[in-house]
Structure 1
Amino acid sequence: MSSFPGSSSGSILDTSKQGSKNYVPTEIGKDLIFPSHKPITEKPIGEPHHETKVPIKKLVIRTLKDKPKLPDNFEEVTWAKLQGAIRAIHNYQPVNDSLEELYKACENLCLHKMADRLYSRLQEECESHLLKEKEKLDCDNSDDEAFLQVVDQCWQAHCKQMGLIRNIFLYLDRTYVLQTPGISSIWDMGIELFRKHIMSSSDVRQKTLNGLLSLIKRDRDGDEVNNSLLHSLIHMYIDLSVYYNRFETPFLQETRNYYYQEGHRLVSECPVPRYLGHVKSRLYMEGERVNNYLDKKTRSPLTKVVYEELIKKHVETILEKGFADMMEDDNDNDDKHLKELKLLYQLLSKVNALDLLRKYFGDYIKRTGTALVNDPSQEPAMVTELLYLKAKMDEIVSGAFQGDNAFNYMVKESFEMFINQRQNKPAELIAKYVDQTLRLGNKSMDDTDIEKTLNEVLVLFRYIQGKDIFEAFYKRDLAKRLLLNKSASFDYEKSMLSKLRKECGPAFTSKLEGMFKDIDLSKDFMQSFETSKSGELIKEYKIDLYVNVLTQGFWPSYPPSPLNIPPNVVQCQKIFRDFYLSKHNGRNLKWQNSLGHCMLAAEFPKGNKELVVSLSQGVVLLLFNDLPPGGRRTYDEIKEMSGMEPKELNRTLQSLACGKVRVLVKYPKGRDISMTDEFSVNEEFEAKIFRIKINTIQLKETKEENEMTTESVFMDRQHQIDAGLVRIAKMRKTLSHNDLITELLGILKFKPPMSDIKKRIESLIDREYLERDKSDSTKYKYLA
């Protein structure tokens, strides 16, 4: 039903706001007071109640002759009431009429189709008020922060006022506004007016922006600032829908300028780890600014600016200045060392600079490894240092570079590059390192450590191209461990052999496996020999004989070592030889004196001992049996009676008279052996232990022995190159020089120098295996 002015029909007042961006304060200012209704008086409870009979009257409905009319000045009077309330709200004054009466007045105007003029008048009233506020702001000469306070007060007051005004004109907002296209809600109209008249003013807009940027700069500089003021004003930009154009764009440019200057200043002043820590701190603080007062969508472009100005523009400088130092060990704090590299990786990954980091990482490994490999003074500890370098790089990749496969590949590529710069020595030293690990007397490692070390060494073995060099030295050292009982454990030996077979195939380990087979067969054969008549015959000579029968093709080649064996030992050798040939007809046995060893019972004035010595040492010591106490033998006598070469004799005498265990005395005293020296039994010799092992200097590796091993490998390589070239040419008949080289490198297990390949091609041409094509000198033909 319709209500006329003065009618008593009820209405419901809804103070909720419309629209997702509308902000309507729930509080009303203390000086904005609506008069309350008169209290309703009720009859007190408990007072006696007397029923009265009301006479029933008939309701008579009569038709009005004339329709009711509004007063002529109804609209003006009603608007005047509403206008007074609006102005009271704008001026922080009490409102004369109650909120219900004002709401009813708005409703009556709308019901009588006066809503369009009412909306226009309301808009004009609000606009007039904001123009006055604009004039006040234009005249305000306060400093940055004080002016921001004034703007914030103006904005907060406008929001509260528009909330109260919307409550009064709620009926208008829910009927006319919703039903009329192109008309903004009362709240949105207030926002549009504030944006148009306050924030469109160039002076107010620029002073507000400058004040905000100044306040944020102070915040970055470490000063305390009013975060709530920043939050309120920045969210004013958001509510006014001008945040991105009028604030974010200049804010990001100001941020870029700020960090551009800071980056250029600090990157040259600070150590790289401290600079990276500063960048991390800056990123955290910018994130906190987003949490405290910026729009959440600003986080991404803001952090991008920081990364670009503090990291991306200085990547080369950061890596050139500090990467090498960061890679060095910090023994006092390894965790700190990894954290710094991890931070570097994370920051560079954000600016797509990991390729450059990977290059510096590889260069560091190559530079460090090359220095180790090419420095002769590092040879004794080269493999240990390489293993340490590999473990360190693996730890950095897994702990700092997040296990990035590209960095793992760079470690592999770098090791392969520098370890093969010196073709032979790394392979030789790796083989020797394995020998030290598997040799008897290695008490510094338990089973777990040995297995771990073998796996680590195998990684270095994968990198070397000269695997045949490794095989030659490994075979030579394995032979000594097996024949001289110097192997710590056959289980370790078999484990290493299994690893090599898995890595290089059965062809690589076939000869090594043959060596183990010979040892096993020798054990079985010696058991049958000891129980035979020949074995019983040897016992008459009071000699315990043990012989390893070796297949020549499996074992390293040994130079002849002339030695006058005592007659009783020679007789034992003959007995064993006859027994062996009786079981294996047509075979040829050749005794290797350099690999023999024996144990002698020695009687000294201060106690009897057992001496574990080499065969040559034993022969020399037996020469002193027929001398009286204190008797001497000259160098020439020992040489003639032993039949040894001078070089071998010198090392043997030096081990017996000048080493740690001195069972002989040299005259005159000194460490060098000369042809004029004389020797006698050391009558004063004593030791706490009964069985004494005398180290044999002649069994230690010599330069000549290493050169001989390497030379044999080179000879094998020449044969492999020749065989490969002939096999390829025979299959292809005619092919170019480049194709021949490419196919050859694909089948060889090592990478020979190009000069060696060219020499082998020329050798095959001279021997008429190949010839150059007469029509094209870059091609070769196979000669059947």
Structure 2
Amino acid sequence: MSLKPKRVNFTETWSVLQETVKGVITLGNVPRAVWNDRFSDVYSLCVAFPEPLADRLYQETKAFLDSHVRGLLVDVQSQGESNLLWAYHSAWMEYSQGINYLHRLYLYLNQQHIKKQKLSEAEIIYGNSTPDSQEQMEIGELGLEIWKRNMIEPLWDNLGSLLLDGIQQDRVGDAPLHVTDTIRGVIQSFVSVEEYKKKGNLELYERIFEERFLKASGEYYEREASRLLQECDVSQYMECVVRRLEEEARRSQKFLHSSSFVKVRAQCEQKMVADHLPFLHGECAAMVKGERRKDLRNMYPLLRPIQRGLPTLVDALLEHVRQQGLQAVGNLRGENVHIQFVESMLGVYQKYKDLIQDVFSGDQCFMGALDKACSYVINHRLNPRQACRSPELLAKYCDSLLKKSSKGISESEIDEKLSRSITIFKYIDDKDVFQKFYSRMLAKRLIHQQSQSMDAEESMINRLKQACGYEFTNKLHRMFTDISLSADQNNKFSEFLKKDNIDLGINFSIYVLQAGAWPLGQSSLTSFAVPQELEKSLQMFENFYHTRFNGRKLTWLHHLCQGELKLTYLSKPYIVTMQTFQMAILLLFERTDSLTHKELQTTLQLNSEQFSKHLASLLDCKILLCDTAENMGPDSVLQLNLNYSNKRTKFRITSALQRESPQEAEATLSAVDEDRKLYLQAAIVRIMKSRKVLRHNALIQEVLSQSKATFAPSISMIKKCIEALIDKQYIERTPNSADEYSYVA
């Protein structure tokens, strides 16, 4: 084959070429040699000398295809209405494959002649240009366009009706398999015939089929919904709707273009769910209350896609969890209320969390409702004037786990329970109240060496830090630091004594605690005459400490100290662990067996309250006896019980002071109130310093926003803090408005 342009007789060449085109388009037998010769003929016509004959070739081919498709239309119509789909589909399958081969035969015409005239994709997609009606199309595109114009458009009304009937037969289960394949092929032809377009390539499919199909589907499912509502209860109705949606989804995948899937489902949901929303919403509360998982599992996917569909179901769950929570923690009694409260609340939380995961696929709307319900229950106050008890109960729960007294529980179980308790902690509004109670209980555990495990203590503090930040646990970390530093301090004190050859006569160890970190307060301090046996030890430690730390003041918290006393006056020796005040009372009996109540108190110089408590604990355990136990007075005689016996040779005398008294709880809450006032005042000053001028409501909102992580202050408390700062001249009301404040620099 010569590539050089030459003169060509168009009529003769086209006559030969036309026969091959006819064979190709009808899928006839075209030998390879003939194909190659015709391929060369197309090239020769496109580069003919002196004038290329490409345009004439294009027009003749167009006329041939136009005539060919018109002939196919007559053949298809002659098959009759009942066989129209089959005849159309057969003609399309042959023609679409044939036009694909013809497109390849005309490769040179397409590439070198037609493409150079066409608009670029960018011009069509992004520009305002539209393809000119006179613009030539590639042969494959031309063939599809002719098919659309000469075959689809004349038949589209009949085809559409037959397609809808065929799909309806599939819905009721009467469509044979070969009909299904034909329907799918016909619908696919509406898409394929315009696939070459850069814009609007689904326009034909949507116009002649999809619109009619969606309308017909909507009418069918409207009738279906009406029928089902008359025949079924809500459970059966939802099951039917779910089944219909699944069937229609499969049907869409079987017949339709993927762009129609969402539209078809939306049409079904509109007619079967959205149009009957009041009916479904009316059943939500009963389903949730009865925890009918199967019904809820069906209800959720039906309501989820519908606008304003889910909120009613979410609200029903929120109210149900709220009621269940209040019921679970409403009537707790006994000494272990804190354990009942936390574990009951965790039970409610876990139960409905599992339900949400199982029934609602962990949907965040429902998790949010669970959070709101738990928050409401945990922060609920039976009496609005009283403080919420949840922070105190949670702190006691943690204390019960971390104390040595928690027997029968492994370390892994304790760790798991502490980890789960953080769930309750996150819902507590008044986290500062929890912090205050927790720090006091931690202090007692550390001082009295009652912690089950220091690793567990530290792990719990780290969990609190993750939940609330370093500032929240700063003092707790400092308490740990003091305990570890005190051990080092004791070692150095022992070296100091050895160096000077000093013998104290007793084993003596101390904790040096920072006043700012430990919630010990000064309220329990009382005058106290230190026993002679301890006086030397105290004095030597003070001397040692002041030589190393100049300017620091030591305050002895005797009410928190304890010691071991060996009783040798009985039939067998006993080693008793007791508090310092109890030990001081017993040491007074070193040289006598009996003393009066007044002599004891005068010698020790303890106030009546402390003295009575510690004396009572010694009388309760029968180490001391009183001649007037029923009505004790200053002249009552107390004496050693020389017949005392105990199964254990080493034991502890429990002090009432180690237990949390109602007065201590009130004092803790009072301390929290004072801390809150200072916190709010600092927040107000901070805000006003940065803003300079701010209106009253805006200031309130800023303060609420800053404090919500720690506690939820009342508006009245914020107002009082604002008034206090005005009195202190940190801020002032602006002259022109009583509703606006300005910062006083």
Query: What TM-score do you get using the length of structure 1 for normalisation?
Result: 0.60
Q: Is the 8 A contact 1:534 1:579 kept in 2?
A: no
Provide the residue aligned with 2:716 in structure 1. Answer: 755
Pairing 1:769–2:730 present: yes
Q: Is the 8 A contact 2:245 2:268 kept in 1?
A: yes
Provide the residue aligned with 2:279 in structure 1. Answer: 314
Pairing 1:612–2:574 present: no
Q: Relative to structure 2, which stretch is displaced further, 413-422 or 515-524?
A: 413-422
Please, which runs of 5 or more residues in structure 2 have no aligned partner? Answer: 1-70, 87-171, 184-212, 382-386
Superposition deviation, residue 545 in structure 1: 0.6
Number of residue pairs aligned between Structure 1 and Structure 2: 550
* 1:298-330 deviation digits (Å, cap 9, x = unpaired): 99799869964998453333233242242xxxx
- Kindly tell me: are residues 479 and 249 of structure 1, through their superposed partners in 2, closer, same or farther at Cα, counting changes over 3 Å? closer
The within-5 A match list for 1:162-201 is 180=74, 183-185=77-79, 188=82
Superposition deviation, residue 509 in structure 1: 2.6
The within-5 A match list for 1:289-438 is 308=273, 312-326=277-291, 341-346=296-301, 348-349=303-304, 353-369=309-325, 377=333, 381-422=340-381, 424-438=388-402
The CA distance in 2 between the partners of 1:760 and 1:289, in whole Å, is 64
The CA distance in 2 between the partners of 1:743 and 1:302, in whole Å, is 47
SS of structure 2 residue aligned to 1:440: coil
* 1:173-218 deviation digits (Å, cap 9, x = unpaired): xxxx9795575327938999xxxxxxxxxxxxxxxxxxxxxxxxxx
The CA distance in 2 between the partners of 1:504 and 1:282, in whole Å, is 47
Q: Is the 8 A contact 1:515 1:550 kept in 2?
A: yes
The CA distance in 1 between the partners of 2:611 and 2:265, in whole Å, is 82
The CA distance in 1 between the partners of 2:582 and 2:295, in whole Å, is 59
Pairing 1:649–2:611 present: yes
User: Which has a greater percent of helix?
Assistant: 2
Of 675, 699, 712, 1:716 maps to: 675
The CA distance in 1 between the partners of 2:479 and 2:175, in whole Å, is 87
* 1:410-437 deviation digits (Å, cap 9, x = unpaired): 3333334443445553223222222222
* 1:246-276 deviation digits (Å, cap 9, x = unpaired): x99998676444432344xx56xxxxxxx47
The CA distance in 2 between the partners of 1:558 and 1:340, in whole Å, is 62
Q: Is the 8 A contact 1:256 1:309 kept in 2?
A: no
* 1:60-87 deviation digits (Å, cap 9, x = unpaired): xxxxxxxxxxxxxxxxxxxxxxxxxxxx
Superposition deviation, residue 527 in structure 1: 0.6
The CA distance in 2 between the partners of 1:765 and 1:510, in whole Å, is 31
Q: Is the 8 A contact 1:722 1:764 kept in 2?
A: yes
The CA distance in 2 between the partners of 1:191 and 1:529, in whole Å, is 104
The CA distance in 1 between the partners of 2:706 and 2:499, in whole Å, is 51
- Equivalent residue letter for 1:657: L
Of 508, 518, 522, 2:486 maps to: 522
- Kindly tell me: are residues 316 and 645 of structure 1, through their superposed partners in 2, closer, same or farther at Cα, counting changes over 3 Å? farther
- Kindly tell me: are residues 325 and 618 of structure 1, through their superposed partners in 2, closer, same or farther at Cα, counting changes over 3 Å? farther
Superposition deviation, residue 597 in structure 1: 0.7
Q: Is the 8 A contact 2:730 2:743 kept in 1?
A: yes
Q: Is the 8 A contact 1:342 1:401 kept in 2?
A: yes
Pairing 1:260–2:216 present: no
Provide the residue aligned with 1:580 in structure 2. Answer: 545
Provide the residue aligned with 1:725 in structure 2. Answer: 684
Provide the residue aligned with 2:411 in structure 1. Answer: 447
- Kindly tell me: are residues 233 and 570 of structure 1, through their superposed partners in 2, closer, same or farther at Cα, counting changes over 3 Å? closer
The within-5 A match list for 1:496-575 is 496-533=460-497, 539-541=503-505, 543-556=506-519, 557-559=521-523, 560-575=525-540
The within-5 A match list for 1:124-139 is none
The CA distance in 1 between the partners of 2:598 and 2:618, in whole Å, is 17
- Equivalent residue letter for 1:544: N
Pairing 1:470–2:430 present: no
- Equivalent residue letter for 2:471: A
For the aligned residue pairs, the C-alpha RMSD in angstroms reads 4.7
Q: Is the 8 A contact 2:566 2:575 kept in 1?
A: yes
Query: What TM-score do you get using the length of structure 2 for normalisation?
Result: 0.63
- Equivalent residue letter for 2:286: K
Superposition deviation, residue 613 in structure 1: 1.4
Superposition deviation, residue 742 in structure 1: 2.7
Superposition deviation, residue 701 in structure 1: 0.8
- Equivalent residue letter for 2:319: D
SS of structure 2 residue aligned to 1:532: helix
- Kindly tell me: are residues 438 and 290 of structure 1, through their superposed partners in 2, closer, same or farther at Cα, counting changes over 3 Å? closer
Superposition deviation, residue 657 in structure 1: 3.3
Larger radius of gyration: 1
- Equivalent residue letter for 2:538: Q
* 1:592-635 deviation digits (Å, cap 9, x = unpaired): 0111011111247453221111222222333444444xxx5554
The CA distance in 2 between the partners of 1:544 and 1:446, in whole Å, is 33
Q: Is the 8 A contact 2:732 2:743 kept in 1?
A: yes
SS of structure 2 residue aligned to 1:531: helix
Of 634, 639, 649, 2:601 maps to: 639
SS of structure 2 residue aligned to 1:695: coil
Superposition deviation, residue 685 in structure 1: 4.1
Identity %: 26
The CA distance in 2 between the partners of 1:400 and 1:339, in whole Å, is 8
The within-5 A match list for 1:266-277 is 266=233, 275=235
- Kindly tell me: are residues 446 and 260 of structure 1, through their superposed partners in 2, closer, same or farther at Cα, counting changes over 3 Å? same
Superposition deviation, residue 681 in structure 1: 4.0
Q: Is the 8 A contact 1:634 1:678 kept in 2?
A: yes
SS of structure 2 residue aligned to 1:692: strand
SS of structure 1 residue aligned to 2:362: coil
Provide the residue aligned with 1:593 in structure 2. Answer: 558
Superposition deviation, residue 465 in structure 1: 3.2
Provide the residue aligned with 2:106 in structure 1. Answer: none
* 1:661-717 deviation digits (Å, cap 9, x = unpaired): 5434456677x9777876544455444333212221121111111222222222122
- Equivalent residue letter for 1:259: L
Q: Is the 8 A contact 1:561 1:592 kept in 2?
A: no
Q: Is the 8 A contact 2:221 2:272 kept in 1?
A: no
The CA distance in 1 between the partners of 2:663 and 2:499, in whole Å, is 39
SS of structure 1 residue aligned to 2:409: coil
- Kindly tell me: are residues 529 and 289 of structure 1, through their superposed partners in 2, closer, same or farther at Cα, counting changes over 3 Å? closer
Pairing 1:487–2:451 present: yes
